[in-house]
Structure 1
Amino acid sequence: MQSPPCRGTAAPLSRIPSVPPADPVPRTPGRAPRGPASRLVAVLALVLVAALAGPAPAAHAAAGLTQVTGFGTNPGRLNMYVYRPTSLPARPAVVIALHGCTQDAQTYADNSGLPESADRYGFLVVFAETTTSNNLNKCFNWFQSTDNRRDQGEAASIRQMAAHTVSAHGADPRRTYVTGLSAGGAMTSVMLATYPDVFQAGAVVAGLPYGCADDVTGAYGCMNPGTDLTPAQWAQRVRDAHPPWSGPWPRVAVWHGDKDTTVVPRNADALRDQWTALHGLPPTPTRTSLIGPNSTRHEEYAVADGAVAVEVNRVPGIGHGTPVDPGNGTQQCGGTGAPYFLASICSSHWITRFFGLQGPGPEPGTLPAPTGLTVTGATDTTIRLTWSPVDGADGYTVHRDGAPLAAADSTSYTDAGLTAGSSHTYAVAARDADGRTGPLSGTVTARTTGTVTACWTATNYAHVQAGRATTSGGHTYAKGSQQNMGLYNVFVTHTLKESPAGYFTVADRTCP
């Protein structure tokens, strides 16, 4: 694929290591935990590093960044870089961009796709950068109370960058936005919560809700398996970040890969609950559609006048990282020349659209939902579906178990390669000639014939990661039977028997 052209004249910043750590947490000097817990954290981090190690990334064209010094007192000791497109309107908008762990400003600029959007639509991008002097993994310290509070540490430094950009470039203070990946995504939540008077909207990519953790141990629990709070409790954490503020609240977009095991998708739900509650909305989408070349599930939560206050984008088939789609198309951007930039959909294009920086555009989902979805047959490995045609539809998208499965040109589809004795839920959406999809139909559930028996031997940690077990209170429980398997760690090993599909029992001595 063709790399985006070089921009500007500034020299590129240094590159990141080819094999970074996988998690958006610590190694803050002087703040790391001690004892067995810290050793377990280190073991888990090393396991994740080994799993993600691979060949060095390909070279990628560098975006031209200009470093800015003297932007304020900078209590968080951050670096500031600005990307200014060649053509810039009067009073431009400002987007603050926050990189992930082990990355730097240049890496994020080169691969995220934000400079392409800035060139196309004319806005400034400020790339904030943390260093190893703040955090050994170069993570923003979203989990430290000295950095995630208003007018303190890194949060205060980022706020000063926004104010300096408005002053120095004549930017519009009413159009200031923030986005970031992983630890940068979690720090995006910090900025939206602590400075709702500054940021009109934000986009959290593979990140976490505000107020989930104030230390390293809590941060790991938030990332995986996640934290359970009610929407009202999540919302209160934001209100407590700046008590004098009563609204209006920033608009929020959430982006998350459905295969992310580093920051599990449960955090996308927590973010949705947090911000819909602040906007006085239920956690049920107003409308749902599919966007992009990979049928990303796009959920919109709208207020009374129809404006979208919160959106959630669930990207199918990817793990932890920024969704990008390298190329020269109007909905393409970014590069895969560094870890954690994943070929799928150009999230920066849609984030820019959510911020309102592209101007008006066609609304997705103009076709009605299909009706008459019916299961017409099943074997040990297949399920066959039919539904009624939709006028104007160019095709259909079939969903299985809540995720896009396949495109269909007619009003029937056979799902093949299934496991005997397994149960699945289906829905269908109509697709127009531009590739936009309408709302989903009602659902039907079907089971393949036959039975299934499978055995799995692994650590408790691996069983949870694979979805065969859950964790609660530091212990592990087999899904289905809820048998207690002992402590959630990488040292206890069990064999689980699956029969029927999705039901697991401990079978250390009896599994064939």
Structure 2
Amino acid sequence: MLRSRNLNSRLLVVLLAVVAAIGVSLPAAPQAVAASLTQVTNFGTNPTNLQMYLYVPNNAKPDPPILLALHGCQGSGPYLYSSTDFAALADQYGFLVIYPSTNPGGSCWDVSSDQALRRNGGSDPVGLMSMITYTEQHYGGNPDAVYVTGESSGGMMTNVMLADYPDVFKAGAAFMGVPYHCFYTGTARGWNGPCAGGQVSMTAQQWGDLVRGDADPGYTGPRPRVQLWHGTADPTLNYNNLGEETKQWTNVLGVSQTPSSTDTPVANWNRARYGGSSGTPQVETYSIVGAGHQLPIQGTPMAAYAIHFMGLDGSAPTPGSTGALHAVGAGKCLDDPNSTTTPGTQQQTYSCSGAANQTWTHTTSNQLTLTLGGSTLCLDADDRGTANGTKAIVWPCNGQANQQWNVNTNGTITGAQSGLCLDVTGASTADGAPVELWSCDGGSNQQWTLG
């Protein structure tokens, strides 16, 4: 059986010479899988009678992360398990993989009904959430490290799950998908020809408003980071959908639609990063030149790049990174007012300029330093404060705990002494907003990217 073909049994599989298009010198992904796929029944609320399959590697780490991996139309969980490299990567890095199957077997995911496009509204997403909860409760899965990926219809559902449950997922990677709500028909597993054909175009604001207003109304917390993949010659889901997805998620995550960096990490892979070039990008896209509707390609590094973006390979922000500290919610940068070197100056957020007073280094001692006029200053919790409202100031570096900061994989920056989050006061988006320490609450005004 070929995966990711025929959305709603209307389209023919097109197998292009994609491997040749992306180069023949790519390193192979890890090979043998030592454990086996296990079907799980009675896993909880399951309105559409989905099937659940779980892969637990023999070397699963304590409190293992969870990856939800979603097949395409005419596929199944077991088929995705055998035709992609995610299980082999789970063997290597010790995370769990849930491989669900749709019902009826081989059908597409419901990404088109009102129920599916709203948090806890019913249909497939509710059953998928039950699988995640079951895995957390019965296999020790880490509820703070849940991720999602999928191909074709599964890529569409990846976007839906990220929109419906932003508090559940830390990041996701959608292969050959379409934006959240693009496939809407009002019916379960409906077919939306204009969306498939790349004929649906909206502004970034319109796409973002759909996520904010329809999927989980009222949610104001941090949003999962998003990676998007598409082949430029996709005959099934038009390549234009990649641009629409990019508009949607850059808007939702509050970063510029202009990439912070572009490169070609592998021959014919054009990558763009948004909201952080070094450090942690909020959105990352891959245009695979000449590729059709057959991603990720087994035996290439595509799956490995996806799990690296999600951090499932153990990657995390590393000391030594230098660049701007972007305040995600404000769309500004952490700024030393007027480039002052006066100890005790409270830091602020300001429009990003790339200047030295916005260039921070996360040192191997977990300090955040700023160098101005030959002087190096440290970000400091004023007067060693551990209470909400403590000012974030600059002070000569002294090695004390109130100058040590944890740059976390969830986007927060926490004081090593206080455990409080670096916070833009009042969730302000204005230039000159003061920065302080506050109890971590999941707000976007406590989300930062370095780079």
Choose the corresponding residue for 1:352, options 307, 328, 333.
307
Choose the corresponding residue for 1:140, options 72, 97, 109.
109
SS of match in other structure, 2:194: helix
Displacement, 1:68?
0.6
Displacement, 1:64?
2.1
- Correspondence for 1:442: none
Choose the corresponding residue for 1:68, options 36, 40, 48.
40
Residues 346/324 of structure 1: CA separation in 2 closer, same or farther (3 Å cut):
farther
- 1:124-139 equivalent positions in 2, closer than 5 A: 124-132=96-104, 137-139=106-108
- Correspondence for 1:268: 242
Q: How many residues align?
A: 300
**Are positions 1:94 and 2:78 aligned together?**
no
Residue type at the aligned position of 1:260? D
Residue type at the aligned position of 1:23? N
- Correspondence for 2:370: none
Answer whether contact 1:212 1:218 (CA < 8 A) is retained: no
Distance in 2, Cα, partners of 1:21 & 1:360: 29
Distance in 2, Cα, partners of 1:117 & 1:362: 20
Deviations 1:178-216 (A, max 9, x none): 000000000111100000011111111000100113227
User: Relative contact order (alpha carbons < 8 A, sep ≥ 6): 1 or 2 greater?
Assistant: 2
Distance in 2, Cα, partners of 1:90 & 1:305: 29
Distance in 2, Cα, partners of 1:303 & 1:21: 31
Deviations 1:351-403 (A, max 9, x none): 1100112234899xx9xxxxxxxxxxxxxxxxxxxxxxxxxxxxxxxxxxxxx
Answer whether contact 2:151 2:296 (CA < 8 A) is retained: no
Distance in 1, Cα, partners of 2:281 & 2:4: 35
Displacement, 1:107?
1.1
**Are positions 1:198 and 2:168 aligned together?**
yes
Answer whether contact 2:146 2:168 (CA < 8 A) is retained: yes
Answer whether contact 1:281 1:303 (CA < 8 A) is retained: no
RMSD: 2.7
**Are positions 1:286 and 2:256 aligned together?**
no
SS of match in other structure, 1:273: helix
- Correspondence for 1:23: 6
Residues 361/317 of structure 1: CA separation in 2 closer, same or farther (3 Å cut):
farther
Displacement, 1:225?
2.9
Residue type at the aligned position of 1:147? A
Displacement, 1:21?
8.2
Displacement, 1:112?
1.2
Choose the corresponding residue for 2:153, options 178, 183, 187.
183
Residues 147/295 of structure 1: CA separation in 2 closer, same or farther (3 Å cut):
same
Residue type at the aligned position of 1:310? V
Distance in 2, Cα, partners of 1:199 & 1:176: 5
Distance in 2, Cα, partners of 1:228 & 1:321: 24
Answer whether contact 2:260 2:274 (CA < 8 A) is retained: yes
Answer whether contact 1:105 1:128 (CA < 8 A) is retained: yes
Residue type at the aligned position of 2:89? S
Distance in 1, Cα, partners of 2:130 & 2:199: 32
- 1:213-228 equivalent positions in 2, closer than 5 A: 213-215=183-185, 219-228=192-201
Answer whether contact 2:111 2:181 (CA < 8 A) is retained: no
Distance in 2, Cα, partners of 1:217 & 1:190: 15
Deviations 1:307-339 (A, max 9, x none): 21000011122100223252xxxxxxxxxxxxx
Answer whether contact 1:22 1:52 (CA < 8 A) is retained: no
Deviations 1:205-263 (A, max 9, x none): 00010011322776221010331100000001111210121121110000111111211
- 1:230-309 equivalent positions in 2, closer than 5 A: 230-240=203-213, 241-292=215-266, 294-303=267-276, 306-309=279-282
SS of match in other structure, 2:250: helix
Name the stretch that deviates more: 224-233 or 147-156: 147-156
SS of match in other structure, 1:271: helix
**Are positions 1:111 and 2:94 aligned together?**
no
Distance in 1, Cα, partners of 2:4 & 2:45: 31
Answer whether contact 1:148 1:187 (CA < 8 A) is retained: no
Q: Which has the larger Rg?
A: 1
Residue type at the aligned position of 2:6? D
Distance in 2, Cα, partners of 1:305 & 1:243: 32
Distance in 2, Cα, partners of 1:52 & 1:300: 28
**Are positions 1:172 and 2:142 aligned together?**
yes
Name the stretch that deviates more: 230-239 or 305-314: 305-314
Residue type at the aligned position of 1:291? P
Answer whether contact 1:100 1:181 (CA < 8 A) is retained: yes
Q: Quote the sequence identity (%).
A: 35
Distance in 2, Cα, partners of 1:242 & 1:277: 16
Answer whether contact 1:105 1:127 (CA < 8 A) is retained: yes
Residues 304/115 of structure 1: CA separation in 2 closer, same or farther (3 Å cut):
closer
Choose the corresponding residue for 1:156, options 123, 126, 134.
126
Residue type at the aligned position of 2:170? Q
Residues 148/76 of structure 1: CA separation in 2 closer, same or farther (3 Å cut):
farther
- 1:373-384 equivalent positions in 2, closer than 5 A: none
Residue type at the aligned position of 1:264? N
Answer whether contact 2:112 2:190 (CA < 8 A) is retained: no
- 1:71-86 equivalent positions in 2, closer than 5 A: 71-86=43-58
Residue type at the aligned position of 1:178? V
SS of match in other structure, 2:296: strand
- Correspondence for 2:345: none
Distance in 2, Cα, partners of 1:119 & 1:87: 7
Residue type at the aligned position of 2:111? W
Distance in 1, Cα, partners of 2:40 & 2:4: 28
Distance in 2, Cα, partners of 1:72 & 1:253: 29
Deviations 1:379-434 (A, max 9, x none): xxxxxxxxxxxxxxxxxxxxxxxxxxxxxxxxxxxxxxxxxxxxxxxxxxxxxxxx
User: 5+ residue gaps in structure 1?
Assistant: 1-15, 28-41, 54-59, 327-344, 367-512
Distance in 1, Cα, partners of 2:84 & 2:117: 24
Residue type at the aligned position of 1:234? W
User: 5+ residue gaps in structure 2?
Assistant: 17-30, 322-451
Residue type at the aligned position of 2:96? L
- 1:401-440 equivalent positions in 2, closer than 5 A: none
Residue type at the aligned position of 2:149? T
Residues 362/324 of structure 1: CA separation in 2 closer, same or farther (3 Å cut):
farther
